[in-house]
């Protein structure tokens, strides 16, 4: 995060002064505060809990603790404005898998502030754009009127589940699936895309499985994949699964930290290697150094395991350590191909209840 400015009234009846706020750590917990005109002894504030700020250095400001807390709340408000998910885009084909994903998104609105949940269905299913067989089974919803009716029915169900401050909006069109998602995401300031996934039946696998796979490859926005058996519970423990040998400066550290901070969760970092003692390889040691440099400020737990099946190793670890959300960067860490290659149903058997948050590398 870059330095930002704001106005603040030091005392009753006094004029507002301009302040420069500079983050002093990567977790956005410690800040330096100084007047725009400059100060030799700036204020240092540290967020200790969600509702209280520690005054590490009051500088030469002669104001009460209450005013410092007021200043801290203004900083919090600025961070929330930057980090707010704003809108969640839920993709639906009206299958049970996509309905469960919508239920999960509704649950999220009680843990993080969300302005709108947007339900979207493309009634002009385009298998060519999805790089799958052109033979689409009977039963696919492709009539505009029917799509609208089903969206209204889904909205009615979700209105009982979302936070009272969250709106539900509906979109349906005849755009190719991915094109429609990109269009809405750009227009509506979408901060998170949510999809369901299953391998239960041929129809659901073609619609949900293939769409999810294609979307995961191209979606620039954080993509949350919700398995059909996943049930929302407050997210307290997050697992970032990575291969330390492939860490780089483009690893989306800020996005990971934002997710952890907004959810107020504990972060666990897992490196999964294949059997063979690779922990002593030069690129592994370099990756570990970079990992600690980027992540130590979050006070995470570090874990290292060996497994010949990356996806299975990650999900077994996640189940054992009571993880509610797994984060990964699929293209770099090879998790994506391991997860979706060939037998989707077989892979999903190892993680039938843990959602996956897929992040793109930063440029």
Domains of the chain listed by start with CATH number: 4-82 (no CATH), 86-227 (3.40.50.620), 237-358 (3.40.50.620)
Tens digits of residue pLDDT in 60-88: 998 999 999 999 989 887 776 665 667 99
What backbone phi and psi angles, to 5 degrees, belong to 83? Answer: -90, -10
Q: Which residues are paired to 301 by β-bridges?
A: 268
Which stretches of the chain drop beneath a pLDDT of 70?
1-2, 26-27, 49-51, 80-85, 124-142, 198-218, 246-250, 274-287, 330-352, 361-363
Contact between 301 and 269 (Cβ < 8 Å): yes
CA–CA separation, 142 and 153 (whole Å) = 17
What pLDDT, on a 0 to 100 scale, did the predictor assign at position 208?
A: 44
What pLDDT, on a 0 to 100 scale, did the predictor assign at position 197?
A: 72
The distance of Cα 162 from the centroid of its chain, to the nearest Å, equals: 18
What pLDDT, on a 0 to 100 scale, did the predictor assign at position 341?
A: 47
**CB contact set of 211 (below 8 Å; sequence gap of 6+):** 91, 93, 130, 177, 195
CA–CA separation, 343 and 209 (whole Å) = 11
Tokens 């699936």 sit on residue: 177
Strand order in the sheet with 52-57: 4-9, 16-23, 30-35, 43-49, 52-57
What pLDDT, on a 0 to 100 scale, did the predictor assign at position 128?
A: 32
Tokens of 256: 């990971």
Tens digits of residue pLDDT in 277-312: 455 454 566 667 777 877 887 889 999 888 777 777
Tokens of 27: 């977790």
């Amino acid at each position: 995060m870059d330095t930002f400015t704001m106005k603040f009234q030091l005392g009753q009846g006094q004029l507002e002064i301009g302040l420069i706020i500079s983050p002093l750590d990567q977790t956005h917990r410690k800040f330096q505060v100084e007047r725009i005109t400059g100060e030799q002894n700036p204020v240092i504030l540290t967020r200790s809990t969600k509702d209280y700020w520690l005054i590490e250095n009051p500088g030469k400001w002669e104001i009460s603790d209450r005013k410092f807390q007021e200043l801290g709340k203004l900083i919090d408000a600025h961070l929330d404005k930057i980090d707010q998910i704003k809108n969640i885009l839920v993709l639906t084909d009206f299958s049970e898998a996509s309905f469960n994903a919508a239920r999960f998104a509704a649950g999220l609105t009680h843990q993080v502030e969300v302005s709108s949940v947007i339900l979207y269905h493309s009634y002009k299913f385009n298998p060519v754009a999805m790089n799958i067989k052109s033979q689409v089974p009977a039963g696919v919803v492709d009539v505009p009127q029917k799509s609208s009716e089903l969206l209204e029915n889904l909205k009615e169900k979700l209105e009982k589940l979302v936070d009272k401050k969250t709106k539900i909006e509906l979109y349906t069109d005849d755009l190719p699936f991915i094109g429609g998602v990109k269009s809405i995401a750009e227009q509506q300031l979408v901060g998170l895309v949510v999809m369901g996934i299953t391998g239960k039946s041929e129809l659901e696998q073609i619609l949900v499985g293939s769409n999810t796979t294609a979307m995961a490859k191209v979606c620039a926005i954080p993509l949350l994949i919700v398995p059909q058996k996943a049930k929302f519970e407050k997210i307290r423990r997050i697992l970032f699964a990575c291969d330390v040998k492939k860490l780089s400066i483009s690893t989306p550290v800020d996005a990971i930290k934002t997710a952890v901070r907004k959810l107020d969760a504990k972060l666990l970092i897992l490196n999964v290697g294949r059997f063979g003692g690779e922990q002593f390889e030069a690129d592994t040691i370099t990756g570990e150094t970079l990992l600690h440099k980027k992540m130590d400020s979050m006070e995470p737990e570090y874990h290292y395991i060996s497994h010949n099946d990356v996806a299975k190793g990650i999900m077994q670890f996640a189940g054992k350590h009571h993880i509610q959300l797994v984060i990964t960067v699929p293209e770099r860490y090879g998790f994506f191909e391991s997860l979706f290659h060939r037998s989707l149903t077989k892979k999903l058997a190892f993680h039938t209840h843990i959602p996956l948050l897929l992040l793109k590398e930063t440029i």
